[in-house]
Structures are given as structure tokens and as C-alpha cells.
Structure 1
């Protein structure tokens, strides 16, 4: 592990956030949760960053909460032990879901519990073929956190989400993709390069339009049809006022490839 459990690397318009505690297979400690919360908030607010990759070092993405640390925290009572949900998990997931730029998860190894929640809070995933994924919560007498009560049913439907949380069985990326979780598989050594390549493609795209699209998708389930249509109209006006839109229309008319600046 490096000096910090979370490493952020910026290169051009891309930021890569790496959970870096291979000794614990990137299980989440108080230190790593605080560092991840701050890192995600920082890149979300950085206007120079136009796409993000979230990954884990070594051979694991994230195995969720560090249970050794959690067991010790339970000595102060459940309310104290689970303050981490509001303090850490909630802002991390909110920022992943709502940041105005695409986020790709590079899932190169096992991913369970809160780790699965982090992966599903991203916009797309590149999985190592055949790795194990799991909700894992009910196996230790808990329910969802890290936004999984929202992201998992949206991706796979209520019935499948109930199956996965109630029975707690492991599943593969290939199954997850077939059920509706957005993603693709790759050989383990190609996961991060592929995720970075996808993120670079998105960083070169119309990121203002991406931001509005993420916002509309996130809001839509809570809106009536009329409200959703009005939100679309307002979103189009916002995108239509960007230099990216004007330049792309001109490029189309001139039969040229558009160049997007994110403005």
C-alpha cells in the first residue's frame, strides 16, 4: 500500500481514483472511506476533469466494509458504528451518481457489499471475466447501503434484486450483464487499460450534454410524465446554449468531425 489508502492520478482531462490497500483486499476502513469520500468530491468539483475511473489495486476491487474494524466499532453501539453510512457511504455514492461527468469502474477482482455499491454507482463497468460479485449484506445480518437499494433494482429489476439480497449468492459479471447491469468483460490484465480508454473517449465528448443526461436519468423515477418532459426541455435549452452544440452543428453541416471542449 502507498502512504494513503486512496490514490488520485490526474492526466489530461482524466482522473483515476484507486483504492490501494491490497493487504486487506481494499476492504473499507475509516481511513480509506474518508479518503475516498474526499477524493470523489474533489474530482467531482474539478472542472478540468471530464471523466473518472474508479478502481482497486492488486487483485481485488473492494470487499466492502472492513469487518475487523467494524466489530470493534460495535462496542460503542450500533448507532455509533453505523454513523459511517451517513458520514462516508452516502456522500461517496451521491457524488458518483450525480457528478457532472462520466465515471467508469474498473473491476479487476472480487467485489462485494459496499464494493458492489460503489461499482453500481458508476456509469459503466469493465469487469475481469469470471470474478465473484456479491451483495453479501444479509450474510452478516445487514441490509443495503451504498445506494444499492436504488441502483440494483434499477439495473436488474425488483425480483432479481430481492433474490440477490435475500439469498446472498455470489454471481459473475457475465450474469450481471445479462440481467441488465451496464458493463463489459475483459481479461484481468486488460481491465484498467480498457476502462481508461473508455474514459478518455468520454472525456473527449460533449461532457456538458453527458452531465445533463445523467441528471435527467437520475431524476426521472421521481417525476411525473409532464415533469420529466419539462425537465428534458430545460436540459435541451441548457445544452443548446453551449459552444459544444454550436460547434458540433457547424461541423455536421461542414461534414467535419466535431471537437468538444465540454463548454
Structure 2
């Protein structure tokens, strides 16, 4: 493993895949990998060629959590926690759809890394645990915020207080996994899912993601105001007239997210129906 990068990054047709690459530790995240993740997420958010992001792990595991094998260190834990917080926020606020491809274990911060993605695809062999209590620790990487929103308060407390290990089917029943896909089919499934997301209107998808992420913390009045502002942003892209043109020409729309405010005197074609 010496000399190999702890995080692999590859691009294919608008999809960037980040692979945690510490299989000898079941991809437990050490300080180097936390920093690499932070930098990679920041880079993905600033690269318009990236239209979707996949996070996965090498060697048959997703992530066994934060690497605590080093024992006590000279650096105060508060400074390391800041990097974790940056990773969680960058993933949550990334303007492109994100997919966690989970094989093997996803525990502790590793599970919360998966839950921080917009969609989670797991194989039947995947296992999940909020293992923190077994280590004398409390939730981190956004788990205290994510879990109650996904499963409700009582189930969140069950997972956090008992630190049980659950399988992929139970995780799906609790709305913590979006799809369970047999291992031989999972790569093709995620590839197809990524392609479908890449084909979508990037600005509108970013708006949808932000609206849904912020929704639970907003009143209906706030949500409606945010929707109106988001829709105004969408109408300033080339994707709205492209969708109309593609519909009339009976073809698949080619979305780019390009800025396309009409010039003075230019009137866009009307769709003749609802914009929603």
C-alpha cells in the first residue's frame, strides 16, 4: 500500500467517482484521507464538467469509520473534528447529485458519509452500524442531524444508543438505503443511475437538492418563497426552452445548465401549459 493514494478519483461521462482506498483498514478514514476527501469534494463542486458524484470504497468495504488505531495524538481532537465538519458540509451542499455505492461495512462516520449522499445503493451483504457508543463516543459527521430526519426520533435513538448492526434490507425498510442491488449488478446499476442524473438539467437538479435539504427547517411560507426564487433561476437557463423544443420535436432534451437570459426584444416561446 505504500505510495498508493488514499483516495482515488476517476471521471466518466460527467460522473466523478471517489473511492476510499485504504482496504487494509476497511477504508477507515485517517487524517490524510479526511483532508483528501475535503479537497476532492471542494474540487468537484467547482468543476462544471462534474454532473454527478459517486462515493464508494475499495476492497469490498465502504468505510469502517474514522481510523482510531493511532491512539492519542499531539493534535487536539477539536482541530480534526473541524475537517470532519468541512467534509460533511461540502457533501451536503455539493450542487450535483451524489450517490453512495455501499458494499461491505459502513459503520460510524463511514455510514454517515453514505447517509450524507443523496442516494444510497447497497448490496445485500452490506452491514451498517452507528457504532460510536461502543467506542465511548457520540455521533459525528452529521449523524445527529441526518438520522432523525431520515428515520424519525425514536428509531434514530435506537440506532445511536444501542449501536446495533443492521443489514441492507432493514436499512432500506428504515429509509436509510434507496436500493438494494445484487453485488454482480451493482456497478452497472450505479453507472446507469449516474448517467440518468447527468442527463438531467444541472441547475434545476441543484435547486431541487437545496430545496429538499432545507425544507424540514422551513415553514411552508419560506418554502414557497424559496421555490419561487429557484424557479426564477431555472428560467434564466437554456434548459427551459430546450425542454420545450425537445418536447415539440419528440426527442430527448440535451440539458447544459447554460445561462441564457433573453436579449432585449427577444421573446421566448410559450409552452401553453403549466411550467411545473
Question: With structure 2 as the length reference, what TM-score do the two structures score?
Answer: 0.89
1:142 corresponds to? 137
Could you tell which deviates more after superposition, 182-191 or 136-145? Answer: 182-191
Q: Is the 8 A contact 1:105 1:195 kept in 2?
A: no
Map 1:24-63 → 2, pairs under 5 A: 24-63=25-64
2 CA distance for matches of 1:227 and 1:239?
18
Q: Which has the higher contact order (CA 8 A, sep 6+)?
A: 1
Equivalent in 56, 81, 90 of residue 85 of structure 1: 81
2 CA distance for matches of 1:172 and 1:150?
22
Map 1:173-252 → 2, pairs under 5 A: 173-252=168-247
Question: Quick check: which one's helix share is greater?
Answer: 1
**DSSP-derived class of the 2:56 partner:** strand
2 CA distance for matches of 1:182 and 1:241?
35
2:21 corresponds to? 20
2:153 corresponds to? 158
2 CA distance for matches of 1:219 and 1:132?
29
| Residue 196 of structure 1: how far off its partner (Å) | 2.4
2 CA distance for matches of 1:142 and 1:205?
41
**DSSP-derived class of the 1:68 partner:** coil
Corresponding pairs, count = 257
Q: Deviations over 1:41-90 (max 9, x none)?
A: 11111111101110000111000011212x232xx48xx1242121x211
Aligned Cα RMSD in Å? Answer: 1.5
2:261 corresponds to? none
Q: Deviations over 1:15-57 (max 9, x none)?
A: 1100011111100111111111111111111111101110000
| Residue 189 of structure 1: how far off its partner (Å) | 3.6
1:171 corresponds to? 166
Q: Which runs of 5+ in 1 are unaligned?
A: none
2 CA distance for matches of 1:188 and 1:84?
34
- Name segments (4+ residues, structure 1) moved above 4 Å: none
| Residue 195 of structure 1: how far off its partner (Å) | 1.6
Equivalent in 133, 152, 159 of residue 128 of structure 2: 133
